[in-house]
Amino acid sequence: MKYSVFILFGTFLIGLISCKHECEGFPDSSLKWIPYRLNDTIRYTDNIDSIEFVVIDFYKSGPTDYRGIYEIDCMTEAYYLTTKYKDYYQIKETCQYDTEMMIEIISMELFEFDIEDKISFNDSVKLRYLQDTIINSIKYYEVLIVSKDTINNSPNIAWIMKANDMGIIEFYDFKLKRKWRIINN
């Protein structure tokens, strides 16, 4: 009897351990929303001054696997982080599960939205999609304008414009009343 319980328990454990699940990692096709890599330089101008950032961190989750009975949701993400500019601006763009974006230009001030569904995760943030737009004679595609409520709130960054393969192409500092536009090289 003890022997059969031991065999049954051993078979159960082997079955438990042998269930292998695979996570594919962050898809390369979604990297168009996280366009910068280590040491890339991003420059902006407000037509008076210019600011510059260097990408100091980049991450893209790779394929993994795990063993167990239960299938879990595979967390995939990619992001880049830049240097700080005068201890004020620092850009971090994160994409999770291929479509969920989080953008931070000033610490603790997030813009969160879904790229695919073109919706915001926060009632005080509005999202508008443009198939393309032209800024200073340069055409950008798949543009998202993400804005915060400036009537009921006082955010530092009021809105951002994000384009496919270009990242943040414009942002407006509501506190300083300055619009920053990307300088294309």
Structural domain boundaries in the chain = 2-182
Kindly report the CA angle at 109 between 97 and 161, in degrees rounded to 5?
A: 70
Burial class (CB in 10 A: 0-12, 13-18, 19+), 48: exposed
Say if residue 106's pLDDT is above 80.
Answer: yes
Query: Average per-residue pLDDT in the chain?
Result: 87
pLDDT of residue 4: 56
- Average pLDDT estimate for 68-96: 87
- Average pLDDT estimate for 156-175: 96
- Average pLDDT estimate for 2-18: 49
- Average pLDDT estimate for 60-83: 80
- Identify the weakest region by mean pLDDT among 26-30, 34-38, 39-43, 72-76: 72-76
